[in-house]
């Protein structure tokens, strides 16, 4: 079901942080019960009750609209996917922007009008606007996720309906904006000096973020949403696993705190921990402030390049691929594919192999 049949089928409860959630139970196709939640974003009971009423009305409106549409618009499918999946499950948040673009260009289309030719026309339009193929691929991939979700178990699209098949543009070439050892050292020096400075916290925040990223290889969102209850300074461990986050292919793992990072985190804890739930003060994004830092100091990298930098340098320094995979939370096969060739002595024995022609013995 898309949402509870009546508001009485939902209840309000507080999570471990004291915030109210709307909770209800859904039945899977096999009859298994599954609890769903939606955060009210407040600790006030009266405010939570008002959110519950507003939320339920919005869900019913979407469900009723789609129930009478034998041929729904793409915009209505995107709206349902966002409200019923992204918001509820708390996953695939990065798809929001991609789906806003798809909604802008294809939102008024009926499902039946989404044909391979329509997708090709969309691709040509976007490419004529100077949009890179990799970006178009990411946006169409998000759109494909909407269609697959809407058809899954007949949520919004009958299971008998044949979804249109369309090819995605080729992805962009491999990124090469990995920092060299000297560049990584320079970025660390600048970021740590900023973090330990006496300026306002909102300016120091990006320094702390960069230091954590360079020393843990964690993804940006994992760092931004890291809470103090998962920082164990005495044990020397950072646990990026979020118990409130649904597990995805992008695994989060606990990692030891390096000797270089420990004084940075200790300083942050001493100055900010008592007033904040989040290590970085809030879970707000860091992309804008990172780009400002990057451009100010002449670096050419993205936040995710810091993760690649960590893995690249460790491979070059001879760290085992198994350990690199454990820190990244990736499979050994993935790490081997991208970093094995960087290890010292890679294939050197094969290249230097020669037959032994000494027959003196």
pLDDT above 90: residue 207: yes
DSSP line for 193-214 = HHHTSSS-HHHHHHHHHHHHHH
Rounded CA-CA distance 22/58 in Å is 14
Length of the chain: 361
Which contiguous run of DSSP H or E holds residue 75? helix 74-81
Determine what percent of the chain is predicted with pLDDT higher than 70.
87
pLDDT above 60: residue 1: no
DSSP structure class, residue 230: G
Mean pLDDT of the 313-336 span: 94
Pairing relationship of beta strands 237-239 and 33-39 according to DSSP bridges = unpaired
- Lowest mean pLDDT across 25-34, 77-86, 130-139, 267-276: 25-34
Specify whether the backbone of 322 is left (phi greater than 0), alpha (psi in -120 to 50) or beta: alpha
More confident residue, 62 or 256: 256
Rounded CA-CA distance 280/326 in Å is 24
- The arrangement of strands across the sheet holding 33-39 comes to 11-14, 20-27, 33-39
User: Beta-carbon neighbour count of residue 102 at 10 Å?
Assistant: 21
Structure tokens at 278: 């989040």
Rounded CA-CA distance 49/27 in Å is 25
Determine what percent of the chain is predicted with pLDDT higher than 90.
50
Rounded CA-CA distance 255/245 in Å is 18
Coil/strand/helix, residue 142: helix
Structure tokens at 265: 């985190």
pLDDT bucket at 52, cuts 50 / 70 / 90: confident
More confident residue, 157 or 62: 157
Mean pLDDT of the 224-237 span: 94
Give the model's pLDDT for residue 335.
94
Which contiguous run of DSSP H or E holds residue 12? strand 11-14
Structure tokens at 236: 């020397």
User: Beta-carbon neighbour count of residue 183 at 10 Å?
Assistant: 15
Highest mean pLDDT, choosing among 31-40, 106-115, 226-235: 226-235
DSSP structure class, residue 110: B
Q: Which residue has the tokens 């904040």?
A: 276
Q: CA 225 → CA 75, 118, 209, 282, distances in Å?
A: 30, 39, 11, 7
Q: CA 246 → CA 132, 252, 274, 326, distances in Å?
A: 31, 11, 28, 20
Mean pLDDT of the 179-188 span: 96
Specify whether the backbone of 66 is left (phi greater than 0), alpha (psi in -120 to 50) or beta: alpha
pLDDT above 70: residue 32: no
Instruction: State the chain's mean pLDDT as an integer.
Output: 86
Give the model's pLDDT for residue 152.
81
Give the model's pLDDT for residue 27.
60
Mean pLDDT of the 162-171 span: 78
pLDDT in tens, 57-105: 877 766 655 554 567 889 999 998 888 888 776 666 678 889 999 999 9
């Amino acid at each position: 079901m898309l949402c509870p049949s009546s508001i009485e089928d939902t209840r309000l409860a507080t999570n471990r942080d004291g915030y109210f959630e709307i909770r209800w139970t859904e039945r899977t196709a096999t009859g298994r019960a599954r609890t769903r939640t939606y955060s009210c974003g407040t600790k006030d009971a009266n405010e939570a009750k008002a959110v519950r009423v507003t939320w339920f009305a919005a869900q019913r409106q979407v469900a009723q609209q789609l129930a009478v549409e034998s041929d729904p618009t793409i915009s209505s499918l995107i709206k349902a996917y966002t409200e019923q999946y992204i918001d509820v499950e708390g996953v695939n948040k990065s798809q929001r922007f991609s789906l806003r673009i798809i909604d802008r260009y294809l939102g008024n289309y009926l499902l039946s009008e989404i044909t391979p030719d329509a997708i090709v026309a969309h691709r040509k339009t976007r490419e004529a606007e100077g949009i890179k193929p990799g970006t178009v691929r990411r946006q169409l991939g998000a759109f494909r996720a909407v269609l697959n979700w809407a058809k899954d178990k007949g949520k919004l699209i009958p299971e008998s309906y044949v979804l249109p098949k369309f090819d995605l543009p080729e992805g962009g070439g491999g990124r090469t904006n990995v920092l060299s050892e000297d560049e990584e050292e320079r970025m660390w020096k600048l970021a740590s000096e900023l973090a330990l400075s006496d300026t306002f916290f909102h300016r120091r925040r990006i320094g702390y973020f960069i230091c954590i990223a360079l020393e843990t290889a964690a993804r940006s969102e994992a760092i931004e949403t890291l809470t103090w209850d998962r920082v164990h300074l005495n044990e020397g461990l950072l646990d990026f696993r979020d118990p409130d986050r649904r597990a995805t292919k992008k695994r989060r793992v606990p990692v030891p705190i390096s000797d270089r990072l420990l004084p940075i985190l200790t300083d942050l804890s001493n100055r900010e921990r008592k007033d904040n739930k989040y290590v970085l003060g809030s879970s707000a994004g860091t992309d804008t402030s990172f780009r400002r830092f990057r451009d100010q100091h002449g670096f050419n990298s993205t936040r995710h390049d810091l993760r690649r930098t960590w893995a690249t340098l460790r491979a070059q320094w001879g760290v085992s691929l198994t350990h690199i995979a454990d820190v990244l939370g990736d499979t050994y096969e993935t790490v081997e594919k991208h970093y094995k060739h960087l290890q010292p002595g890679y294939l050197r024995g094969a290249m230097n192999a020669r037959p032994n022609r000494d027959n003196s013995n």
